[in-house]
Amino acid sequence: MLNRITVQLPVEGLLFWKLSGREAMSESFALTLTVLGTDARIDRTKLLGQPVTVTIPTQSLLTPRYINGKITRVAVSAVELTGTRYAVYQLTVEPDLWPMKRDRNLRIFQGQTVPQIVKTLLGEHQVNVEDKLTGSYRVWDYCVQYQESSLDFISRLMELEGIAYHFSHEADKHTLVLTDAATQHQPFSGYEVIPYHQTPSGGSTDEEGISQWALEDSVTPGIYSLDDYDFRKPNAWLFQAQQNPASPKPGSIDVYDWPGRFVETGHAEFYARIRQERWQVEHQQIQATATAAGIAPGHIFTLTNAPFFSDNGEYLVTAAGYHFEENRYASGEGETIHRTDFTVIPASVSYRPAQSTAWPRTYGPQTAKVVGPQGESIWTDKYGRVKVKFHWDRLAKGDDTSSCWVRVSSAWAGQGYGGVQIPRVGDEVVVDFINGDPDRPIITGRVYNDASMPPWALPAAATQMGFMSRSKDGHKDNANALRFEDKAGQEQIWIHAEKNMDTEIENCETHDVGVDRKKIIGRDEHVTVKRNRDVNVGANSTSNTGNQHKFNVGKNQTVLTMDKEGNALLEATTSIKLKVNDNYILITPSTIEIIVSEGTLKAESITVASFKGTELTKLGGGINAEMKANDTLHLNGTNLTDIKGAVVKINS
């Protein structure tokens, strides 16, 4: 009885009959376990999701082989053996990864390596993990699980990074073992050396060994090359190529991938090496059959007595197909089948999983909400990128940790020129993905929603178009704006500056106003003309100054000042000339000259003419000079007063 296969189940009365299925490195196994019972009324729900362990005796009988897992499916039928009718329970056994095969999620990981992401998800699903990794792995700034199962997500990441896994089984549990080097694999205890010997078809439990051994060599590509693009280093040469030494015709087959999912040259070299090492795995594989119970994926053994002497050596088991059947308990006699069909590679080859898990793709754009730190209405970096929260992200906090920096498309972008319109926190933006990769979002547009409506009421203002910004942290009325009104007969361009407006023109400026122009300045106006200024008024010109009106002319220093009392002052350093036709008054620093061709000087009231210093007054020509005074007229001279005329009348 000690060499029979047994099973431990959460219910009593069930006996092992058959076990079949495939277990392989970097795969989640699904084995079919068939057990027999005389009671068909066992509650099947008590089996679902429960642990089960199959114990397989080994040649040492001291260290049995265990296969442990969880029951994920139960089917019941009937069979008659040696005259006894049995209930046949067919159980599907899977590892603790089984929930991760059946879920689906959208989730963002930031600033983590692939091993960190993998262990995070495995830990959340209570999967036992043994980490044997020794390699150095890049930090992913942004990595998205996108509408895929958790197992598919971590599988594609591990396949890209060259991380393998297998399961180590014990009596009451199983452990997922992460590996990335050939030296990390150990033999199954008691099966360090397994001999080759010919046995009848189907194998035998009497003498464990390998009965079939067939080598396979396959053609693999000669060159693997990959490339990518990083906008932060737009001129960087990221292309990388790796030669496959195992290719029979090096360079005859070139596998080129773009994008290569990297932004650093060192990452490209790493990924090229991983792909080349996968081709080494595929280049030479051996298909074999054995009765040895210690053959299990992820374990190594040394082959002896090989059919060809050169085949003796150490090998790594990469996959195993189990065919175990126990018949003796039914009749006391019968054939027990212990057969394992398996695949091995030379143990010196680092096992790298095939990149077989599809990467998800996005189909069309989606929208997201711009986010930032608490209290910030604008959050950007030197590239004008912003952070967003996707509508599907259940775990995001809605702040600057919700996503990576996302580039923003512009209608015009050049080397130091173009347009800049940074989406504000709270805006809804249209997000697409470069090459459909959810890890590479890019904002291509913005849209309004019921919480963020257009600046002008629609559809009433449907003829209006333009731009309206918003003062940072300001009220809805605090904005700069440019608006075009296209309503027939009311066409208008409206410009609004919330505070200052500065216009800089490096050459000429022309304004042509067809009808009227009105200009209102709330406070002061300063106009500087560095050369000439011409003002032509076709009709009238009116200038009203509430207080003082002053003109300054730089060269001749002419100044005209008028105060509110009505006094006018006109100043010049050289001369002032007032002219009407041929009559004029010329004032210079030393003289005042009044030239009147014909005219009269009149004073309606008291007039005083005062001359200081040496004075000479002449009235010539055919002019009558009349001097009148209501009271007294004084003519005084300190030395001589000379009054001449044809007739001089005094008191006449």
Assigned domain for 241 exists: yes
Task: Read off the pLDDT of residues 202-238 as tens digits, 9 standing for 90 and up.
Answer: 444 457 899 999 998 888 888 899 999 999 999 999 9
Nearest to 292 by CA among 53, 58, 60, 31: 58
Taking 50 as the threshold, does the pLDDT of residue 1 lie above it?
no
Position 204 scores a pLDDT of: 44
Contact 592, 609 (CB under 8 A): no
Kindly provide the residue ranges of all beta strands, DSSP E only, lying in 491-591, ordered along the sequence: 492-496, 549-552, 559-562, 568-571, 576-580, 583-587
Handedness of CA 23, 29, 32, 38 (dihedral sign): positive
Assigned domain for 435 exists: yes
Assigned domain for 339 exists: no
Position 228 scores a pLDDT of: 93
CB atoms within 10 A of CB 56: 21
Which structure tokens are listed for 40?
């068909």
Assigned domain for 422 exists: yes
Assigned domain for 272 exists: yes
Rounded average pLDDT over 622-651? 62
Q: Which residues lie below 8 Å from residue 209, measured CB to CB, with a gap of 6+? A: 194, 195, 196, 197, 199, 290, 291, 292
Taking 70 as the threshold, does the pLDDT of residue 395 lie above it?
yes
Assigned domain for 58 exists: yes
Q: Which residue has the higher pLDDT, 422 or 631?
A: 422
Q: Which residue has the higher pLDDT, 40 or 321?
A: 321
Average pLDDT, the chain: 87
Which residue range is the domain that position 63 belongs to? Answer: 6-94
Position 422 scores a pLDDT of: 93
Taking 70 as the threshold, does the pLDDT of residue 610 lie above it?
no
Q: Which of 266, 283, 300 is the last residue of a domain?
A: 283
Position 88 scores a pLDDT of: 92
Q: Which residue has the tokens 């143990």?
A: 347
Contact 392, 355 (CB under 8 A): no
Position 250 scores a pLDDT of: 57
Assigned domain for 568 exists: no
Taking 50 as the threshold, does the pLDDT of residue 634 lie above it?
yes
Task: Read off the pLDDT of residues 492-525 as tens digits, 9 standing for 90 and up.
Answer: 999 999 999 999 999 999 999 999 999 999 999 9
Q: What is the CATH number of the domain that holds 432?
A: 2.40.50.230
Q: Which of 262, 283, 304 is the last residue of a domain?
A: 283
Residues 365 and 453 in one domain: yes
C-alpha dihedral, 534 to 535 to 539 to 540, nearest 10°: -140
DSSP symbols for 293-304? TT--TT-EEEEE
Contact 465, 494 (CB under 8 A): no
Lowest mean pLDDT among 115-119, 152-156, 239-243, 391-395: 239-243
Nearest to 91 by CA among 173, 171, 19, 13: 19
DSSP symbols for 39-100? -TT--GGGTTT-EEEEEE--TTSSS-EEEEEEEEEEEEEEEEETTEEEEEEEEEEE-TTHHH
Region of residue 566 (phi > 0: left; psi between -120 and 50: alpha; otherwise: beta) = left
- Count CA atoms closer than 13 A to 567's CA, side-chain side: 3
Nearest to 59 by CA among 222, 207, 219, 240: 207
Nearest to 281 by CA among 226, 240, 243, 318: 318
Contact 156, 359 (CB under 8 A): yes
Assigned domain for 206 exists: no
Count of domains for the chain: 3
Say which amino acid occupies 519. Answer: K
Q: Which of 457, 487, 506 is the last residue of a domain?
A: 457
Lowest mean pLDDT among 194-208, 316-330, 589-603: 194-208
First vs last C-alpha separation in the chain: 176
Position 636 scores a pLDDT of: 65
Q: Phi, psi at residue 495, to the nearest 5°? A: -120, 130
Position 594 scores a pLDDT of: 84
Residues 367 and 453 in one domain: yes
Q: Provide the percentage of residues in the chain whose pLDDT is more than 90.
A: 62
CB atoms within 10 A of CB 196: 19
Taking 60 as the threshold, does the pLDDT of residue 39 lie above it?
yes
Q: What is the CATH number of the domain that holds 25?
A: 2.30.110.50
Nearest to 177 by CA among 124, 122, 227: 122
